[in-house]
Structure 1
Amino acid sequence: MRVCLLIIAFIVSGDLMAQRMPHGMVYGSKPSRVGLVQANKLEAFMGKRPRVSVSVAGRVAQVTNTKGGWFDVDAGNGKIITAHFKNNSINIPKSLKNRYIVMDGVAQRQMISDDHQHYAGGDSRGHSRPSGPRHLLSFEVKGLVVEK
């Protein structure tokens, strides 16, 4: 009898420790679905605008820092959108990796100087431009909801 109760208690406690992230979990404010753009089409949607307020749907590639909500979203073709919450008090779990999300906020292009203006006054022969457009977009998240 005691063994049966012990086994049942062990199973129940194991389920409580490994809680799954429920569908529809919201971090920050609930995002709007009006004008929803897929992550792989965000750069084309922005055109030549440096900043745009938009709702984006995509898959989380990696959670870089749980405190403050820092994560990367897969934008297709090897491109990554770096994202973080506007409110630093929001913490996200590591289990958010490979989940599909909808996030609302401000997308911004990262400006890279072509003519090394950030080295003005110095010798720029030893410096080179970063190769490959991996992190060209950053996203400041106001709200996020877990889709699947």
Structure 2
Amino acid sequence: MTSVPQFQLKHTPFHERTSQLSLPQNWRRWAGHIVVGSYDLHVEREYWAIRDAVALIDVSPLMKYMIEGPDAARLLDKLVPRDIAKMAIGQVGYTGWCDDEGKLLDDGTISRLGETTFRLTSAEPSLRWLSMNAVGLDVSITEVTE
């Protein structure tokens, strides 16, 4: 009988602190990490804090991409409904991204780090899709997920 190798889930940099704050000790797998699933015994309180007040959520496992080059804003304008030209350097915006028919594919944040430099986060791997949409554009896309 062969044994199945054990997959070691990683801890985020915030694991020690979040593990102390999770009352139900509710954990989930996310992109090879073990993360808190909820902090309160009643998830409704978490929902309303996020909706009406403030919440701190460990999103370390998000996929991260650097999008750089003269056509970086043009690529993002093609993919998201947000007007990239209106984003100031240093600004972060939440947005969805869509296919050519307008179907929502994923969501995340776009950070404008420079005139032609952006960082995109997503829950799911998107490098192939981003690269396919960048054909013919003067842009480089690099996955920088840790």
TM-score, with structure 1 as normaliser: 0.24
Q: RCO (CA 8 Å, sep 6+): is it higher in 1 or 2? A: 1
* Larger of the two Rg values belongs to structure: 1
Structure with the higher fraction of residues in strand conformation: 1
TM-score, with structure 2 as normaliser: 0.24
